[in-house]
């Protein structure tokens, strides 16, 4: 029971934080629950596709194989399934009516996925693994979600830029996720020294995106922007 609590505690802390940063119009709990469940559900196809891609890994040396595993197997597969699930779940929902909503839904879905992943890792590695992942892997998944949701929100609110920002909603999290995993997988000493600074950069980027959409008065609900223009 302690292992399960240690695995899921950082997930719920971040979820509560994101929920209460949504200042204008709280998202329905039912839809947020569906986002978490969608994140849990995609674990199954992700495992299948990752195993398939691993079986096709080319023999390209230590660095090349680490890059393939980090960017293609993990980064591309996980972020693609998150993106597809998120798009199908909320893009046409009337509840998706603010730019910050993209961040909320993306984080809830990402942490549904991360929660399952964290339980599996912590059950295998114990409380020390739980402590490390609480400060690194779980927040990293949240930041990948924040990034995806940020660009998804812009694409949703400004349809004339839809293609560009939907592309960024997928591409940027893949790159961030790939770099995170690559630093750990390549096992090069000097690169490992960059891991903590990279995590700090991720934190900073994520908090900045939250602040822009949550605090700035120019990012108001669609209805308020339309009224102002009238």
Q: pLDDT for 143-202, tens place per residue?
A: 999 999 999 999 998 888 899 999 999 999 999 999 999 999 988 888 888 998 999 999
| Predicted TM-score (pTM) above 0.85 | yes
Contacts of residue 23, defined as CB under 8 A and 6 or more positions apart, other chains included, come to 100, 214, 215
CA separation for the pair 196, 201 (Å, rounded): 9
Mean pLDDT split into 10-residue runs, the chain, 230 residues: 76 92 87 97 96 90 93 97 97 91 96 91 78 86 96 89 94 97 88 89 91 61 39
Amino acid 230: pLDDT = 28
What torsion do the CA atoms of 27, 29, 33, 36 make, to the nearest 10 degrees?
40
Ramachandran category for residue 153: left, alpha or beta (phi over 0 → left; psi -120 to 50 → alpha): alpha
Amino acid 24: pLDDT = 77
CA separation for the pair 77, 72 (Å, rounded): 7
Helices (H), 27-161: 29-41, 43-55, 61-67, 77-90, 99-125, 127-135, 137-157
CA separation for the pair 87, 81 (Å, rounded): 10
DSSP 8-state code for residue 194 = T
Helices (H), 126-220: 127-135, 137-157, 162-185, 189-192, 195-215
Amino acid 215: pLDDT = 64
Report the candidate in 92, 96, 79 with the shortest Cα–Cα distance to residue 39: 79
CA separation for the pair 37, 43 (Å, rounded): 10
Mean pLDDT of the chain: 87
Q: Are 21 and 210 in contact (CB under 8 A)?
A: yes
Angle formed at CA 178 by CA 124 and CA 111, multiple of 5 degrees: 55
Amino acid 77: pLDDT = 97
Amino acid 49: pLDDT = 97
b/e burial code for range 104-139 (CB count within 10 A of at least 16 → b):
bbbbbbbbbbbbbbbbebbeeeeeebbeebbebbbb
CA separation for the pair 38, 142 (Å, rounded): 15
Residue 149 three-state SS? helix
């Amino acid at each position: 029971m302690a292992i399960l609590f240690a695995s899921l505690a950082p997930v719920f802390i971040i979820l509560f934080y994101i929920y209460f940063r949504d200042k204008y119009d709280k998202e329905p709990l039912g839809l947020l629950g569906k986002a978490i469940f969608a994140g849990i559900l995609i674990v199954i196809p992700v495992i299948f596709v990752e195993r398939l891609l691993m079986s096709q890994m080319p023999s390209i040396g230590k660095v090349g194989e680490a890059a393939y595993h980090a960017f293609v197997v993990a980064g591309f597969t996980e972020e693609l399934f998150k993106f597809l699930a998120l798009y199908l779940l909320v893009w046409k929902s009337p509840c998706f009516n603010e730019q910050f909503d993209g961040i909320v839904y993306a984080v809830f879905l990402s942490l549904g996925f991360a929660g399952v992943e964290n339980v599996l890792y912590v059950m295998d590695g114990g409380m020390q693994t739980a402590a490390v992942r609480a400060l690194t892997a779980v927040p990293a998944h949240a930041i990948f979600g924040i990034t995806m949701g940020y660009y998804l929100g812009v694409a949703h609110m400004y349809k004339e830029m839809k293609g560009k920002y939907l592309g960024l909603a997928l591409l940027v999290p893949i790159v961030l996720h790939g770099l995170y995993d690559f630093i750990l997988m390549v096992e090069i000493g000097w690169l490992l020294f960059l891991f903590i600074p990279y995590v700090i950069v991720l934190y900073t980027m994520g908090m900045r995106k939250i602040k822009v959409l949550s605090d700035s008065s120019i990012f108001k609900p669609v209805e308020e922007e339309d009224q102002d223009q009238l």
